Every structure is written in structure tokens, then in C-alpha cells.
A and B are shown apart, each in its own frame.
Chain A
Amino acid sequence: MTVAQASLSPPASPPVRRADSSASWRLSDRIGLGFAWFLGLLFCAIAAAIVIYFLVEGIKYLRPSLLVTNPTASSSESQTGGFLDPLLGTVIIALMAMAIAIPSGIGIAVWLSEFGRPTALARLTESCIEMLAGTPSVVLALFGTILFEAPALGFLSQTSHGIVLGQSFFAASAMLSLVGLPMVVATVREGLQVIPSHVREASYAVGKTKIATTRRVLLPAARPQLITGSMLGLGRVIGDTAIVLLLLGGTLTFSNANSTPLLGTLRGTGDTLTGYIYYNAPTGDGNQPSKAYAAAFVLMLIVLALNLGVDFTVRRSRAKLWN
């Protein structure tokens, strides 16, 4: 005991300059460090510039009325209304796309991480998910237009004179779910893989099946990663424009397929904030920059709120799990 104590207490020594202080580094390393600092600060500045610019512009143009009125066609910018429908469209699209992406993403991640047999199929799935993550959304959108014009999928959109339109909330959110899916798969899978194998074995060793272990031990442990992945995926979904324009119609207001309350809307076309901004940007067809700035500001607020929400939830759920 006394020997252990003696070896644990640090020997008294005169204070010396810490060897890892950067003052002792080679010149090239110090330049590298300086460059890293410069880049870090530069990106902080860029992010701050974007936020501040849209804050200023957005507050200048954002009126509460914009949030509760619909876009209307008019030659005067004061007469063109707000962006209620695009805002609702963003919410609907986000909910529907993530309702598909989260469960299927969890399923794929669990299968890849916990089962993964046959190995060849698991590898193939992995590559496909990676490919999907790297596919530009406009390519997915183009594929979607072909897919949803198929007569068999006509029930998901409108049909006129025997021709399936292929543009609807269903079509857009199905394709957008593929944009969010890879994020969910990647993070959940990572969350499962950092759990040591002896934790799984501890569950098997009290007679639990693999399914029960996954359900009650592994997935709860991977919850912080699931939240992070879902929010990253959600961020990409609400930020996408190409799929919205090609598959949702970009019609500024909802154009219901029929009079059935919810289903009619979902089978019809509409727009989201991104589509609205695209249309109203100075270079767009609408060219009403003040509306575009206001909408961009709202979109950015949503994204910021999501980020803060994720930070908060992840921290709380980590705290619940670990300390």
C-alpha cells in the first residue's frame, strides 16, 4: 500500500515550460496552426455574416401577415400575399419524409450492424446507401417524375385524361425520404457499433434474444445518435429545392386533387419555403426579393431551432443514459 502511494504521488520538481507549448514547435507547424486558426475564424465569420444579413433583411421585411396569408398573383409586391401554404408545405413534407426515413433508416442500420448476413448483401446495401447519400437530389427528382407517372402509382397523385401527373406531396416526400435516409442509417449504425460487444453478450447471458437485446438495450443506447441523424436528415429534407420543384409542382399554393380534406391535399401539388424562395429570388420568375428574404429568414429560424433542439435533446438523453 505504501509503495503504491509513493509511486502515485508525483515527484517534486521545479516548474518547467510545458513541452507541448506551441512556442517550441517548428516554424512550419506554427504556420500550419496559424492557418487552421485563420480558417476556423473565417468560417465563423461567414456563418455569422449569413445569419446577420438575413436577420437584418428578414426583420426588415417580415410581417406577421406574411405568415398567415397565401401567395396571390399580382404585379405589385404589396399585393402578392404571404407564404402560409409554403410554410405548411415545408412542415408537411418534413413530417412525411421523416416518417418514412426514420423507421426504415433504423431498420437498415440495425440490420447492417447487428445481423448483416449474408455479408455480400450487407456490403451491397452499404454501398447503395452511400451512393444514395452522394446522389444529387435533382437526379432523385428526375427519377421520381418517371416513377410516379407510372399508372400503377396514379393513386398517389392526380390523373387527368388518363395521364398520371406524378406531382404530389406523396411523390415529393417519398423521394425526399431518400435524401434523409442515409443520414439516419449512418448515425444510428455508428451509435450501435460503439456499444461494446460485451454489453450485447451481457444481455444474451441472461437469456435474452437478439431482438429483445436490440429493442431494449441497443436502440435506447443509440438514441442520441438517432436524434442527431434524424435532425441532420430533416435539415437536408427541408433545405431541398429540386425535388420540391419537380415533384411537388412548385405551385405556390396548395392545389388539392379533390375535396377529400387531407388526402386531397396530399395527392395534390403545393410548395415549400425553398420553392417559394427560389421563385421569388431576384433571379427567379417572381422576383420579389423582400418576400424571398422574409421566407429565407423564417427557413433559417426553423433550421436554427432544429439545431438548438437537437443539441438540447441529445444532451438531455445522454445525461439520462450516462449521468
Chain B
Amino acid sequence: MELRKPPPVKRLTGNEGVPLHQPIPDAHGNGDGNGNGHGNGNGPSPGPAFVGLPRQRAAASPIAIDRMQVEELSVAYGGRPAVDSVSLPIRQGEVLALIGPSGCGKTTLLRSLNRLTELTRGASSTGRITLDGTDIASMESTALRRRVTMVFQQPNPFPMSVFDNVAYVLREQASRRPKRAALRGAVQDALARAGLLDEVRDNLDHPALRLSGGQQQRLCIARALAANPEVLLLDEPCSALDPRSTKLIEDLIVKLREDVAVVIVTHNLQQAYRVADYVAFMYLGELVEYASAQRIFGAPRELRTKEYVSGAFG
């Protein structure tokens, strides 16, 4: 339980960590035999029981393109620090999961990536985030947010039809143009990418709020994909959903990482294990450890990571 102060997190270039293709030899080392997995307070605790269970992907994505780079990012709300000097890369072809206990700054970090933190009164930040080499602070926020879109914890379709929810994103600001017919293809494409098209094909004009919770959340993903973003941010997208909808969305996340860099905040460690290629563990605003999912769950370097993933605190 005792948390020792870790050395300052050094800047990660993204080239270190463990290559995805090779399983870590002792990934299951701590978990074997006694699957109870909970530390008794002293010393290193055994790894989580779910390590070794099947993950969502067959193999790692063959490509990994650097999309965003977070450099020494610190965010504070009214002088109270929420994120403290975090650096990490965000790559297309990989799913990055941000994990950590409540209030550790993972959602703030996520919201910094498309500058949604700016909407919070009293928020201030230092450090640099780049998207394809451009500092996002120098971009127009509306342009940035079309390239880095977001899905929220609560499914929040707009109170309009399924079609219009997606078409709204494709149209210029408050414009009603282009008209329906011109957008049909793009709307259906976005719905198909989110795996929703087959279920709503005949009901595109129905109110979106009539869909089930899981369908609503996939509609929100379709909406986020319609802008054709480079990065997709997911803030605990399954926490309000049933297990079946969760499974659908997790499968979707793994499929989407080919075309778009995916960053997911989750409270659910098993989910992070199932969907993530890389995991960033945050604690009290600090990035404690950033490494491949196999390493974080199998052989974390930091004691705090090990304790968190094995359920000793959080």
C-alpha cells in the first residue's frame, strides 16, 4: 500500500516500451496459481487475475503513425493542478487507454487533446500538444475539434433524427445545406463505420433518442467519425451501457484503430486490457507509467501501477 515517490516521468518518444508483436515472457508470471490477485498491503502484490484472458485483437495493427504528441502538459483548474507535466505520444493504429482512479486527471488530459478544457472556467494549461506536427494552440478550436472528435460517457445524441445527428456534423456550422440527398452517402458511410447502419437503415428519420442506449452511443461514435477525424477520443464510452453493447463498442474500437488514433479513458481495467495496445496509468495528475498493455498488466515497472492494476487501491 505504501506509495513511494517515483522518479520523474521521462519524456517518451513512443519508440520504447515493448513491441506489440512479442508477448512478454513473464506476462502471466505474477498471476499464476493464486488468482485472487489482491495484495495484502505489504510488498508487491500479484498481478490482476484477468491477465492471460483473450483480448479483442488477433494481432497488432501493422501500421502505427504518430498523430499527436503531448509534451510536458500541465493543466490546472483555478490554480488547482489536475494534470502535471504529462508527455506521451498518440498513434494511429493503436488504442491508447488512460487508466487511473477518479480525479487522477485522465479525463482532463483527454479533454485537453481537443481543447475542450478551455470551456471550463478557470482552466489554465502549460506545455505543448501537437497534431501532425502543428501546435494545437495555434489552430482554430473548431478546426481542431473536427480533426480530434470526442464521444462522451453518457450517450448524448442530439434531439433530432438519426440522419440529422450525423448530417449536422457534415454541414457547415448552423447551415442546412447541403441537402439530405447530397449527404445520404456520407451519413450512411459514417453509420456503417460505427456498425449501426444495419440496425437503423430503415429508420433514419426516427428520433435518435428512441434508439437503445447502446445504439445511441454508436450513433455518437458515427457522429464523431463523420467529421473524418485523425483522432477519436472516448471518455468512458461504455460506463452507462450493458455488457452486450459494451462488447459491440469494444470490438468497434479495435477495428477503428486502423483508420484513426483512438484514445479511451476508462475506469474499467478489464476493458483497458481487452481493447488497449498502450496504456497510460495516471495518479494524482501524474503520468506514472506509459507502456504496452501487456507490460502494464503483466509486468509493470512502477510499484503504484502494479498495485493499481491488481486492485490494491483505486
A binding-site residues for B, Cβ under 8 Å: 196, 198-199, 201-209, 211-212, 215-217, 220-221, 320-323
Contacts and interface: CB of A to CB of B under 8 A. Distances in A.
Contacts of A208: 142, 168, 173
B11 to A, nearest CB: 28
B168 A201 contact: no
Contact of B114 (A205, A212, A215): A205
Contact of A207 (B119, B158, B227): B227
Interface string B245-268: 000000000000000000000000
B218 interface: no
B101 interface: no
Interface of B: 114, 116, 119, 141-146, 149-150, 152-154, 156, 158-160, 168-169, 173-174, 207, 209-210, 220, 223-224, 226-227, 233
A207 B145 contact: yes
B12 to A, nearest CB: 26
18 contacts: A198-B154, A199-B158, A201-B116, A202-B150, A203-B168, A204-B145, A205-B149, A206-B146, A206-B149, A206-B169, A209-B142, A209-B173, A211-B173, A211-B174, A216-B158, A221-B158, A322-B207, A323-B207
Contacts of B207: 320-323
A198 B159 contact: no
A205 B224 contact: yes
A202 B145 CA distance: 10
A221 B209 CA distance: 12
A201 B224 CA distance: 12
B154 A217 contact: no
B116 A205 contact: yes
Contacts, number: 83
A202 B149 CA distance: 9
A203 B224 contact: no
A3 B191 CA distance: 36
A205 B156 contact: no
Contact of B209 (A211, A220, A323): A323
Contacts of B114: 205
A221 B159 contact: yes
B152 A198 contact: yes
A212 B146 CA distance: 14
Nearest to A1: B243
B150 A205 contact: yes
Nearest to A4: B243
Given A220-B159, A321-B159, A207 B142 contact: yes
A216 B168 contact: yes
Contacts of B156: 196, 198-199, 202
Contacts of A323: 207, 209-210
Given A204-B116, A205-B116, A217 B145 contact: no
Contacts of B158: 199, 202-203, 216-217, 221
Contacts of B174: 209, 211-212, 215-216
Contacts of A205: 114, 116, 145, 149-150, 152, 224, 233
A102 B154 CA distance: 33
A24 B239 CA distance: 41
3 A-B pairs closest in CB distance: A207-B146, A205-B150, A212-B174
A216 B150 CA distance: 19
A215 B119 CA distance: 19
B224 A206 contact: yes
Contacts of B233: 205
Nearest to A199: B156
Given A198-B153, A204-B116, A221-B159, 12 more contacts: A196-B154, A203-B158, A205-B114, A205-B224, A205-B233, A206-B149, A206-B168, A209-B173, A209-B174, A211-B173, A322-B209, A323-B207
